[in-house]
Amino acid sequence: MKLADTRAIALFLDMLAGEQGAAANTLSAYGRDLSGASADLGGGLADASAGQLESLFAGWADLAPASVARKRSSLRRFFAFLVAEGIRPDNPAAGLAAVKPGRPLPKTLSHGDVDRLFQTLDRLLAERPGPAMIRMKALMELLYGSGLRASELVSLPRNAIRPPQPFAIVTGKGNKERMVPISAAALEAVRAQLAQVPPSGRWLFPSGKGHLGRVRLFQLVKGLAAEAGLDPARLSPHVLRHAFATHMLAGGADLRALQTLLGHADISTTERYTHVDSQRLVQTVTALHPLADG
């Protein structure tokens, strides 16, 4: 039995309200989680495979542990309901790993890794010129060049970036706006992307009736990693955001400025997303400490 996501989600919420007496806030949260997951999967949530859910789950790496835990619970209960109702025979969410407190930071990339990615991207763009590679170039330049969250990137309005203006106004978590600088290379890539998006279009990266999904972005990044000879398990949009942060900090960026660029409400979050190697710390102390010559 195949059921459209909107109908399946509505039936699930009706069950929670009628049989389990779920509170209005709970119903609203579950509804948002499931509708968002459905949108990311192009309306294919009810028929999703375990692999698709794992990719979806990985795309939430930038969210707070409590939010990820709630989304995981939403998915597991939703699919348990579908199984109980005979709508599908299996629960693909049963194996989703629990969120552990203090989740480790994602692996970062060396400058050499980043160079390989962009060299490969330029080669592919030359070999396969067309809309898909033009879009990929813009996505990658904005991910690494501006440190955008995956959700912020895929949902950029068509006019969010207006070359030659070297910045964009991005709406991040909590509907908070911030100004994000756009590099010259990213501006050039966005110009090319804009040329293939109708002026009346709503999104910079359209897909179907909406915009590109986070899961699809996750898959595209991993595909590029494989083309570049890098381990796809090491690559994700969030890893590129993390690389942006660590490379900016290593280059001398101020932590407070980086906090603003990343859109973090709390400086401690920025400190978790960035790390400086011990050698650079030793060099800094040696160069700047007033007793270093003593």
CATH number of the domain residue 185 falls in:
1.10.443.10
DSSP 208-241: TTEE--HHHHHHHHHHHHHHTTS-GGG--HHHHH
What is the pLDDT at residue 227?
A: 94
Both 18 and 142 in one domain: the answer is no
Q: Does residue 137 carry a catalytic annotation?
A: no
What is the pLDDT at residue 167?
A: 81
What is the pLDDT at residue 276?
A: 46
Query: Average per-residue pLDDT in the chain?
Result: 80
Both 74 and 120 in one domain: the answer is no
- Final residue in a domain of this structure, among 66, 84, 102: 84
Rounded Cα distance between 21 and 17, Å, is 5
Both 232 and 130 in one domain: the answer is yes
Both 67 and 183 in one domain: the answer is no
Catalytic residue among 72, 149, 158, 242: 149
Q: Does residue 216 carry a catalytic annotation?
A: no
Residue 94 belongs to a domain = no
Residue ranges with strand state E in 38-185: 167-171, 177-181
- In three-state secondary structure terms, 179 is strand
Separation of CA 198 from chain center = 25
User: Which residue type does 260 have?
Assistant: T
Q: Does residue 273 carry a catalytic annotation?
A: yes
For 228, the token pair is 């570049």
Catalytic residue among 135, 211, 222, 238: 238
User: Which residue type does 230 have?
Assistant: L
Residue 262 belongs to a domain = yes
106: preceding bond cis by omega (within 30 degrees): no
Question: Which single residue is written with the structure tokens 């590099």?
Answer: 183
Both 238 and 189 in one domain: the answer is yes
Q: Does residue 2 carry a catalytic annotation?
A: no
Both 62 and 133 in one domain: the answer is no
What is the pLDDT at residue 178?
A: 78
Both 215 and 72 in one domain: the answer is no
pLDDT tens for each residue of 163-198: 888 888 887 666 777 778 888 888 999 999 999 999
Sign of the alpha-carbon dihedral angle for 144, 240, 103, 214: positive
Q: Pairing state of beta strands 210-211 and 206-207?
A: antiparallel
Question: Which single residue is written with the structure tokens 């459905």?
Answer: 38
Q: Does residue 264 carry a catalytic annotation?
A: yes
CATH number of the domain residue 45 falls in:
1.10.150
Residue 167 belongs to a domain = yes
For 75, the token pair is 């998915």
Rounded Cα distance between 292 and 290, Å, is 6
**Residues of the chain whose pLDDT is less than 70?**
1-3, 61-62, 97-108, 172-174, 248-294
Catalytic residue among 70, 211, 214, 273: 273
Rounded Cα distance between 3 and 5, Å, is 6
Catalytic residue among 76, 173, 202, 272: 173
Q: Does residue 111 carry a catalytic annotation?
A: no
Rounded Cα distance between 210 and 231, Å, is 31
Both 43 and 187 in one domain: the answer is no
Both 274 and 129 in one domain: the answer is yes
Rounded Cα distance between 54 and 217, Å, is 14
Residue 294 belongs to a domain = no
Prediction pTM value: 0.60
Domain count, the chain: 2
Residue 104 belongs to a domain = no
Domain that holds residue 28: 5-84
Residue 255 belongs to a domain = yes
DSSP code at position 201: -
